[in-house]
């Protein structure tokens, strides 16, 4: 016998930009949103009965309508509002998942001052949030970031690694360490100061990356996650992804030149991939 084991459907890549107009300055944000609903939709899959299906176009329209009246000051709060909206109005829905990402816009610096109504996209970094809400249960909230490209030119080594007949990589006590940082963390409560905590987590991650005497990417990744959990008790766990963006020392000996760790060849592919999740005991 064949049965429908699990299912979900929704709308992806709903793009939303919002201007908050204050006296003397404006705030601007740009989000990309995905909504997925789970519930009693078997009749649609099995028999083609759409009577319990909320059109995904309606989900898109809901994003813009709710954004008009929302007082949420961040992705997490807006995602909670969206999830609650779909659960409240659709008894056939058992759970809603809302995933959001935010582009990095900031006020343009003009003559040393931020221009009140002009913005620049400052980097490739995206802030992220994910809300999972089930009926009659408190939502769970994850936050994070991705594509935060960081590099340091000191305090990074790679020594004492396993070697076999195919190993050609030389040991080094002084190398460039670069990565495109991805992080996501789970809050122990759905009612915390999300914006302030996001800023604190980001500052901790960057501060540890800069100061840590790295023996490997793994070593630094663990130090970063450990410091976040130690410094932000509102977080239950954190998952970090740190691809090792290689910069290979250029061989200038054939030109009769030395290379005192100054000239490198950036290599995008292939790259190392290192990730781990850190949690709390007990």
Q: Please indicate whether residue 56 is annotated as part of the active site.
A: yes
Q: Rounded to two decimals, what is the model's pTM?
A: 0.91
Instruction: Please identify which of the residues 80, 107, 212, 246 carries the catalytic annotation.
Output: 246
Dist. CA 236–CA 229, nearest whole Å: 8
**Tens-binned pLDDT, residue by residue, of the chain (282 aa):** 888 888 999 999 999 999 999 999 999 999 999 999 999 999 999 999 999 999 999 999 999 999 999 999 899 999 999 999 999 999 999 999 999 999 999 999 999 999 999 999 988 999 999 999 999 999 999 999 999 999 999 999 999 999 999 999 999 999 999 999 999 999 999 999 999 999 999 999 999 999 999 999 999 999 999 999 999 999 999 999 999 999 999 999 999 999 999 999 999 899 999 999 999 987
Beta strands in the chain (DSSP E): 9-22, 25-39, 93-110, 113-134, 140-152, 177-187, 235-241, 244-249, 264-272, 275-279
Q: How far apart are the first and last CA of the chain?
A: 42
Per-residue pLDDT tens over the stretch 215-229: 999 999 999 999 999
pLDDT at 193: 96
Instruction: Please identify which of the residues 11, 60, 103, 212 carries the catalytic annotation.
Output: 11
Instruction: Please identify which of the residues 18, 26, 32, 56 carries the catalytic annotation.
Output: 56
Which residue intervals of 13-160 are DSSP H helices? 42-47, 56-69, 75-89
For the purposes of burial, counting CB atoms within 10 Å of the CB of 75, is it exposed (0-12), middle (13-18) or buried (19 or more)?
buried
pLDDT at 5: 86
pLDDT at 103: 94
Q: Please indicate whether residue 11 is annotated as part of the active site.
A: yes
Q: Just give the CATH number of 9-137.
A: 3.10.270.10
* Helix-helix angle 217-231:194-211, to 10 degrees: 140
- Of 135, 133, 126, the closest CA to residue 35 belongs to 133
CB-CB contact of 6 with 57 (8 Å): no
Q: Please indicate whether residue 186 is annotated as part of the active site.
A: no
Per-residue pLDDT tens over the stretch 134-188: 999 999 999 999 999 999 999 999 999 999 999 999 999 999 999 999 999 999 9
Fold of 148-279: Urate Oxidase (3.10.270)
The domain locations on the chain are 9-137, 148-279
């Amino acid at each position: 016998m064949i049965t429908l084991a699990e299912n979900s459907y929704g709308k992806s890549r709903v793009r939303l930009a919002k201007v908050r107009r204050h006296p003397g300055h404006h705030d601007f944000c740009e989000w990309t949103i995905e909504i997925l609903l789970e519930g009693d939709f078997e009749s649609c899959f099995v028999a083609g009965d759409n009577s319990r299906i909320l059109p995904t176009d309606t989900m898109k329209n809901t994003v813009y309508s709710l954004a008009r009246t929302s007082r949420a000051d961040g992705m997490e709060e807006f995602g909670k509002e969206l999830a609650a909206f779909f659960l409240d109005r659709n008894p056939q829905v058992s759970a809603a998942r809302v995933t959001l990402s935010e582009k990095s816009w900031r006020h343009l610096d003009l003559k040393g001052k931020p221009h009140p109504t002009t913005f620049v996209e400052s980097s490739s970094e995206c802030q992220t949030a994910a809300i999972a809400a089930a009926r009659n249960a408190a939502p769970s909230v994850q936050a994070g970031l991705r594509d935060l490209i960081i590099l340091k030119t000191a305090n990074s080594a790679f020594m004492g690694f396993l070697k076999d007949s195919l190993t050609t990589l030389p040991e080094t006590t002084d190398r460039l360490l670069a990565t495109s940082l991805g992080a996501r963390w789970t809050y122990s409560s759905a009612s915390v100061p999300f914006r302030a905590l996001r800023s604190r987590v980001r500052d901790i991650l960057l501060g540890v990356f800069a100061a840590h005497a790295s023996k490997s990417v793994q070593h630094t990744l663990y130090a970063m996650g450990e410091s976040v959990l130690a410094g932000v008790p509102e977080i239950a766990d954190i998952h970090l992804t740190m691809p090792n963006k290689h910069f290979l020392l250029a061989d200038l000996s054939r030109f009769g030149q030395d290379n005192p760790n100054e000239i490198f060849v950036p290599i995008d592919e292939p790259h190392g991939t290192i990730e781990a999740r850190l949690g709390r005991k007990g």
